[in-house]
């Protein structure tokens, strides 16, 4: 094969602005050798995250930075097989199963049949972990891990996770439980059993204000932001900790939280191979569960974006790039 396919944002707008484009495949022996420390990966699955859809719609800093670089290929989560690597990338060989949180935040590139990735950004996928799970894990898992770290969640803490049934939330519940916390999670009634099975007490946000259902939590992990995040501040005890994850409303939520005497911070996830390796090992050991709501063929990326924009997917959604949908 001398060419390969990608799904690109052709202009900012509705999901229909996503279109397939063809690229020449690097002549491995020649071109790739020029790319210091790169590994060429044949992508089998690519994870879909809300930031992909926000960027496609022209919102946020990734859109602002890439507005003059359209068509731009989104996607930060990949899993696949190593095709070739340059000498400096030593550790990897053809056929290795890998996953990575790549090109974050400005480069993206995961919605693609092939991608060249710096060797140090990849994790080996344990044989027992399906590649679709390995593609769904990186960005959401590391966000969950880092939010709990930032909030200094410890054994015995009461932790409220807003949007506990979502991509980040369902992993955050399990990681917080593993730290010994008592976890509460907001979700709709249809997801109550799901979050309970992950170890949380479910709070149905449609059954009245959360601050009537829960008081004196030590920590709020806010995965909703805006008015929903602000509405949940009353669940946290004086001096409690708040980490608000959606960047667009972080300042607003932190301001309100501080006025209530809470410690509050926003965050931007930082790619960490160490954390990816650790969570991949947990998946392999069965101590972390990753739920995949749906798998869409790459060519149906627009439908995947509609799904993520509904705001009600359970766990993760994934694009099948070279694997089965």
Ligand X SMILES: NC(=O)c1ccc[n+]([C@@H]2O[C@H](COP(=O)([O-])OP(=O)(O)OC[C@H]3O[C@@H](n4cnc5c(N)ncnc54)[C@H](OP(=O)(O)O)[C@@H]3O)[C@@H](O)[C@H]2O)c1
User: What size, in residues, is the chain?
Assistant: 325
Q: Which is nearer to ligand X, 114 or 205 (CB)?
A: 205
217 near ligand X, judged by CB under 6 A: no
Position among 7, 151, 223, 235 found at the interface with ligand X (CB under 6 A)? 223
The DSSP line for 41-90 is EEEEEEEE-HHHHHHHTT-SHHHHHHTTS-SB----EEEEEEEEE-GGGT
Position among 99, 123, 191, 256 found at the interface with ligand X (CB under 6 A)? 191
Catalogue the long-range contacts made by 277-281 (C-beta closer than 8 Å, 24 or more residues apart). 277/123, 277/124, 279/137, 279/141, 279/142, 279/145, 279/171, 280/99, 280/123, 280/124, 280/125, 280/126, 280/129, 280/134, 280/137, 281/126
Position among 75, 80, 108, 166 found at the interface with ligand X (CB under 6 A)? 166
Could you say which residues in the range 52-71 bind ligand X, by CB under 6 A? none
245 near ligand X, judged by CB under 6 A: yes
Which of 128, 75, 70, 73 has the alpha carbon at shortest distance from 97?
128
Q: Which is nearer to ligand X, 163 or 304 (CB)?
A: 163
Position among 62, 86, 134, 224 found at the interface with ligand X (CB under 6 A)? 224
296 near ligand X, judged by CB under 6 A: no
Sign of CA dihedral 178, 318, 90, 118: negative
- CA 283, 157, 269, 297: dihedral to nearest 10 degrees? 40
Q: Which is nearer to ligand X, 8 or 147 (CB)?
A: 147
From the list 45-53, 75-83, 128-136, 281-289, the region that binds ligand X by CB under 6 A is: 45-53
Q: Which is nearer to ligand X, 269 or 320 (CB)?
A: 269
Closest separation between CB of residue 32 and ligand X, Å?
31
Q: How far is CA 218 from the centre of its chain?
A: 25
From the list 4-12, 63-71, 135-143, 272-280, the region that binds ligand X by CB under 6 A is: 135-143
133 near ligand X, judged by CB under 6 A: no
């Amino acid at each position: 094969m001398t060419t390969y396919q990608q799904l690109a944002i052709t202009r900012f707008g509705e999901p229909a602005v996503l279109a397939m484009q063809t690229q020449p495949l690097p002549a491995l022996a020649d071109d790739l050798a020029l790319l210091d420390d790169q590994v060429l990966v044949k992508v089998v699955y690519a994870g879909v995250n809300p930031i992909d859809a926000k960027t496609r719609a022209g919102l946020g800093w990734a859109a602002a930075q890439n507005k003059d670089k359209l068509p731009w290929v989104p996607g930060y989560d990949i899993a696949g097989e190593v095709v070739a690597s340059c000498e400096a990338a030593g550790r990897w060989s053809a056929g290795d199963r890998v996953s990575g949180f790549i090109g974050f935040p400005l480069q993206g590139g995961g919605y693609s049949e092939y991608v060249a990735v710096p060797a140090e950004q990849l994790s080996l996928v344990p044989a027992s972990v399906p590649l679709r799970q390995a593609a769904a894990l990186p960005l959401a898992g590391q966000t969950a891990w880092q939010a709990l770290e930032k909030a200094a969640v410890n054994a015995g803490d009461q932790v409220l996770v807003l949007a506990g049934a979502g991509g980040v939330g369902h992993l955050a519940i399990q990681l917080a439980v593993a730290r010994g916390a008592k976890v509460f999670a907001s979700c709709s009634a249809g997801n109550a059993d799901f979050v309970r099975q992950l170890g949380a007490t479910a709070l149905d946000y449609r059954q009245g204000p959360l601050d009537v259902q829960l008081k004196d939590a030590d920590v709020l992990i806010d995965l909703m932001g805006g008015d929903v995040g602000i509405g949940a501040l009353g669940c946290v005890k004086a001096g409690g900790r708040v980490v608000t994850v959606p960047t667009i409303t972080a300042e607003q939520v932190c301001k309100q939280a501080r006025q209530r005497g809470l410690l509050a911070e926003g965050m931007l996830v930082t790619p960490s191979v160490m954390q990816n390796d650790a969570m991949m090992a947990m998946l392999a050991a069965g101590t972390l569960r990753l739920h995949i709501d749906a798998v869409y063929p790459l060519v149906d990326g627009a439908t995947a974006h509609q799904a993520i924009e509904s705001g009600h997917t359970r766990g993760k959604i994934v694009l099948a790039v070279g694997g089965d949908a």
